[in-house]
Each structure stands twice: as C-alpha cells, then as structure tokens.
Structure 1
Amino acid sequence: MASKPAESKPAAPAATASPAKASRPAEPAAKEDETAAKKAKAEAPAKAKPVATFETTLGTFKAEILLQDVPITASNFIDLVKAGFYDGLHFHRVIPDFMAQFGCPYSRHVDKMQNAGVGGPEEDSEFKNLVTGETLTRDEEGQIPDEFTSKISNKKGTLSMANCGPNTGGSQFFINTADNTNLDWWDTTTKSQHPVFGKIIEGMDVVVKITKVPTKDDRPVTPVQMKKVTISGI
C-alpha cells in the first residue's frame, strides 16, 4: 500500500500491555493492569525530549520528537531509528514549497526505486511505548494505529506520518516545507489526516534544499541519501 500525504497543490499523489508483578497480595486482574500501567508511566522518562539527527548527502538537520504528545507514533519512529531502519534509504518524493517524503525500505537501492513509497516496517514487529512501557505490535502489514490525540498542525518544519488511509502509517513520513494545515487530522474539509510527531530545530535550510533538487515525477533525479539517523535525549 502506498503511503503518502494527499496534497492541494499539484495533483494529489499516490502513501498489549505487560502487567507488573504484584509484591503484595494479588489484586484483581483489571486493577493489577491499571497499577502496572501507572507504575510504567511513572518510571518512564516523562520529561524526555528526544532529538533525532538526520545525516544526509546534502547536509544534516535535527528534529525534536514529540514523545509526550504522540507516544505511540514517536515510539514507533524511535524504535526504527535505533534499529538502523532508516540508514541508507533515499528520499523518494520531494515537491518544492510542499514537502519531502522519506522512510520507504524500497528506496534503499536507487536502481530499484520503482516500488518506493509502498513499503514499511516488518509485519507483526514489536516496539515499546516509551511513555507507558507497553509493548505494541505492528499489524500484518507493519502498520500502526492512527494517533489522533494532539492537535499539532502540519506547519512548516514539522514531521508528519505519511499514509494512504486510516491506520496505515508505518515507517514513512514527510517534512512540511510549507504550512500544510489542510493535512491536519481534525480538518474536515479534506480526507487527508496526518499526525505530526516532530519538528525541525536545526537545519531547515537543508530540508528545503532537498525539495529543490531536480526531479522526475516528484522523485529526485540525483538521489538524496540518508546516511544515518541517530536519537539522543532518551
């Protein structure tokens, strides 16, 4: 399934809990689960502000990852970063004054990019919610549920999940290089719903440069590679 942000500019493009052990007399299951969740959240880095550093062939940029606002989406991203999932991939879709899209595993080899835009994480793979401590499982297509909880708009410089409909987010995301508020999940004027999970804090000029490379069908003619993504602050 293709993961992509719909657009209003050029033609619209094709994109459980782990209960804690009771140290005292056993509690009813429901209460025990609730106690475990509260304990995990209390022990989690509640004030953590992770920062992702993106090293590309056109320069480096950094983004704060909004873990406390969208913990599932952000934890999914952080898990993929730590696994080295993004290292070596290429930007497969860029549009000036709109966005730069990245994160498809089929973009790794520039001579085999025809399917770039339809891939994602491994099916049924697990990751940890870094706020609650829960272990979550991506579905049979490697997708995660939509997290429509925080109204953070798709303003210039934000990182947002790419998708091709409800609950189809995975590894692909895009960086807004304009105020694309029509992509906000609470905007009922369009069907596009894309939750923001990060914001650029350094190197926005590099992102803009990436969107302005020559393209064919929105794909860079000269490949722009992500050499490495690292995470700090957590």
Structure 2
Amino acid sequence: MRRTSAFYFGIVSIGVLLALALSSGGQQRSATSSARRAPGLYAIFETSMGRIVCRLFEQEAPKAVANFVGLAEGTKEHISPWTGRKIKKRFYDGLMFHRVIPNFIIQSGDPTATGRYTPGYTFEDEIRPNLKFDKPGRLAMANRGPNTNGSQFFITVAPAPHLNGKHTIFGEVVEGLDVARRIANVPRDATDKPIRPVLIQRVIIERVK
C-alpha cells in the first residue's frame, strides 16, 4: 500500500512539474516574442486558426486606432445588435471573419456576420498618401463610402492598389501573415462567408516600449 501511494504521489508530482514547465515556457515565449517587436502599439488577434499580430499606426491614423483599441478593450460605447441599447464590452472577442476572399482580404467586426452592422456612430477617413495597399498585410477600416468608418475592418493578403484612397489604413501585419492567408483560403459560400466559422477568440492590445 505504501509503495502504491508513493507511486501515485510520484506521478502527480511529475504532472505538476510538467504543467509548471509548460506554463513557464509559454510565458517566456510570449515575453520573447514581445521583446523582438519594435516599440509601438500592437493588436494581437488570437484566432481559431492561429495568431496574427498587427502594429497599429497611432501617428498616421489616430482616430481609427483609438476606435479599434476602445472597442477591443471594451471601453468604447457601441450599439448592441440584439437589444439596440448602448453597451461597453470587449467587442471583437468571439466574432467571426464573415468575409474571406483568396488573394484579397479577410474581414471582421460585425457581430451579426452580415456585413451590415454599424456600432451606432461613424467617423471620418484618415487617408495618408504615404500609406497604400501596395503590399499584403495592411490592416484597414471597411466602410460604406467616404467617412463611414465604424467597427468593421479587414486585412489584405495581397496587394490591392484599387483600394488606395478609399479606406483608412491603420496598421500592418508583422507576424502571422501566413495565418491570414490560410483564413482567406477556407471554403466559403456564395456570400464569401466561411462554411465553418473562423473565430477571433480574443484581441489583445499590447504596447512595447
């Protein structure tokens, strides 16, 4: 009996040590990853298909960045599509990429996944001549025309020069472009919505000094 108890105690102890080691390793990897990034503000998208990290352009698009950060962290008020009431909550956590197009974009920011949701407000464009859709990985505001920005955004997975001057670019992908491309290539229906939902599990805002 004593040998059996000692055996089980040993197994439990090993399990605890392994769990601690894995946890520590994860924290170290996260810290190391952050340490490799240049100083600035970042949005980390933890998706059901992997991680995408974007550097946010605070200087070039301050309104778009402040809006995105406020919604992501739950400090900005918006309209609930279900009750019509103004609420504050972590807006992007749990949303799906409702529009995915290979060699073009992945789009999210709509709780209804229809592409028609607005948060109850709009704000003006911040078009900068030096920021163009000349390469993949641009993080930009989706809109319904000039100065109709709200909560929806997209990430390009290829150059898209026809979008120049029409959408506010407020960040760029610095890690995980391969993840964005895999999302863009999932099977989709006639409206470009993924057959099997691809979710934003959470968005983490992180400042690297």
Fold match by TM threshold 0.5: yes
Which blocks of at least 5 consecutive residues in structure 1 are unaligned?
Answer: 1-46, 108-115, 124-141, 186-192
Which amino acid in 2 is paired with 1:86?
A: Y
- Among 143, 157, 179, which residue is 1:206 paired with? 179
Larger radius of gyration: 2
The answer to whether residue 100 in structure 2 is matched with residue 120 in structure 1 is no
Alpha-carbon deviation of 1:120?
Answer: 2.6
Which blocks of at least 5 consecutive residues in structure 2 are unaligned?
Answer: 1-37, 75-89
The answer to whether residue 51 in structure 2 is matched with residue 57 in structure 1 is no
2:27 counterpart residue number: none
The answer to whether residue 156 in structure 2 is matched with residue 176 in structure 1 is yes
Which amino acid in 1 is paired with 2:123?
A: I
How many percent identity over aligned positions?
Answer: 41
2:106 counterpart residue number: 100
The TM-score, its normalising length taken from structure 2, stands at 0.70
More helix by share: 2
199-208 vs 48-57, greater mean Cα deviation: 48-57
1:23 counterpart residue number: none
Alpha-carbon deviation of 1:151?
Answer: 2.8
User: Is the Cα contact below 8 Å between 1:101 and 1:175 reproduced in 2?
Assistant: yes
Which amino acid in 2 is paired with 1:88?
A: G
The TM-score, its normalising length taken from structure 1, stands at 0.63
Alpha-carbon deviation of 1:152?
Answer: 0.6
CA distance in structure 1 between the partners assigned to 2:181 and 2:66 by the alignment? 26
Which amino acid in 1 is paired with 2:180?
A: V
RMSD of aligned alpha carbons? 1.5
Alpha-carbon deviation of 1:49?
Answer: 1.6
Alpha-carbon deviation of 1:150?
Answer: 4.9
User: Is the Cα contact below 8 Å between 2:60 and 2:126 reproduced in 1?
Assistant: no
User: Is the Cα contact below 8 Å between 1:96 and 1:211 reproduced in 2?
Assistant: yes
CA distance in structure 1 between the partners assigned to 2:185 and 2:125 by the alignment? 30
The answer to whether residue 203 in structure 2 is matched with residue 197 in structure 1 is no
Show the 5 A alignment for 1:1-234: 49-83=40-74, 84-107=90-113, 116-121=114-119, 123=120, 142-154=121-133, 155-185=135-165, 193-217=166-190, 218-233=192-207
CA distance in structure 2 between the partners assigned to 1:50 and 1:150 by the alignment? 22
Runs of at least 4 residues of structure 1 off by over 4 A?
none
CA distance in structure 2 between the partners assigned to 1:66 and 1:150 by the alignment? 14
